[in-house]
Every structure is written in structure tokens, then in C-alpha cells.
Amino acid sequence: MLETLPEFNAALDKIAMYIAQRDHSELELKTKLSRKFDQKTIEKSLAKAKSLGWLKTPQELSQKVAARLDEKYKGHLAIANYLRRKGLPIRPLSEQQEIEKCRELLDIKFANWPSFSYEEKQRVARFLKNRGFLDTTIMKVVYKEN
């Protein structure tokens, strides 16, 4: 027990350092801590961090991260993939919000995009696809706008 106390404290310090930089999911913390600490120490230190209230719930963290990505005009697929990689729950799709976000992005990026030719609209559609928007959303916004 005494041999693992310094290791436990070091792991707890690492968690505090990571959380001070930005909020992390449990999966992220486990991945980062596994580079230096054994599994038992990681589990104990994460349990202690939870009991101290350092970690947000997965739902809270998921909402916070999704809102940040929404502000960057990322599409539902991009947000869902990011959340999945971080081990967080995926929020449900709001089709109307997604369409509005898509239109706002196009207004910022492309002036007069509704009057583009078919070839130009294909370029716009590729841009939206790379931002993680669904094909159905792209079709509704780009091709059925007029």
C-alpha cells in the first residue's frame, strides 16, 4: 500500500493537470494515464477524482463539446465521430438546427451561393460533406433552395 501511494498521488496530479487544461472524458484520461501508470492505479485515481467532483458527467461533457463544435459549424456526422472517439454519448440529430447551421455556414463562406451553377453547387456540396453534414441535409439546402 505504501509503495503505491506515490504512484496514486502522481496519477491524481496528472488528472488534475489534464482537467486544468480542458475537460476530459474518462476514456481520454485512461488513455493518457495508461502511458505511465498501471490499470489499478488509474482506476483508483479516477474514482478519487470522481468523488472530488473533478469530472463532468458524460452527458454534460457531451453537450459542452457538441456546443463548441456547433459554434465551429461542424455537421452532425463530424460531431458524432468526435464524441465517439472521446467515449461520450452522441446527441440526437436536430434536423432543423442542422439545416440552419448549414445555411449560416454557406452564407459566411460563399456569397450568393443559391444562384450558383450546378457545377459550383457540387463544389459547395463537397465542402459541406467534408464538414460532416449529412447527405440529406446537403440536398435540402444546396439543391432544393431555389
What integer pLDDT is reported at residue 143 of this predicted model?
Answer: 86
Question: What is the C-alpha to C-alpha distance for residues 16 and 73, in angstroms, rounded to an integer?
Answer: 31
What integer pLDDT is reported at residue 85 of this predicted model?
Answer: 95
What integer pLDDT is reported at residue 64 of this predicted model?
Answer: 95
Asked if pLDDT for residue 17 goes beyond 90, the answer is yes
What integer pLDDT is reported at residue 145 of this predicted model?
Answer: 57
Region 65-72: what's the mean pLDDT? Answer: 95
Asked if pLDDT for residue 146 goes beyond 70, the answer is no
pLDDT one-digit tens code per residue, 76-115: 999 999 999 999 999 999 999 999 999 999 999 998 888 8
CATH code of 4-55, in short, is: 1.10.10
Question: What is the C-alpha to C-alpha distance for residues 95 and 66, in angstroms, rounded to an integer?
Answer: 15
Q: 128 or 4: which carries more pLDDT confidence?
A: 128
CATH class of segment(s) 95-143: mainly alpha
Give the closest residue to 40 by CA, choosing from 5, 87, 14. Answer: 5
Identify the weakest region by mean pLDDT among 27-36, 76-85, 112-121: 112-121
Locate all alpha helices (DSSP H) within the chain, ordered by sequence.
Answer: 4-21, 26-33, 39-51, 58-71, 76-85, 95-109, 118-130, 135-138
Q: Is the pTM of this model over 0.75?
A: yes
- Same fold for the domain at 4-55 and the one at 95-143? yes
What integer pLDDT is reported at residue 86 of this predicted model?
Answer: 94
Domain limits, the chain? 4-55, 95-143
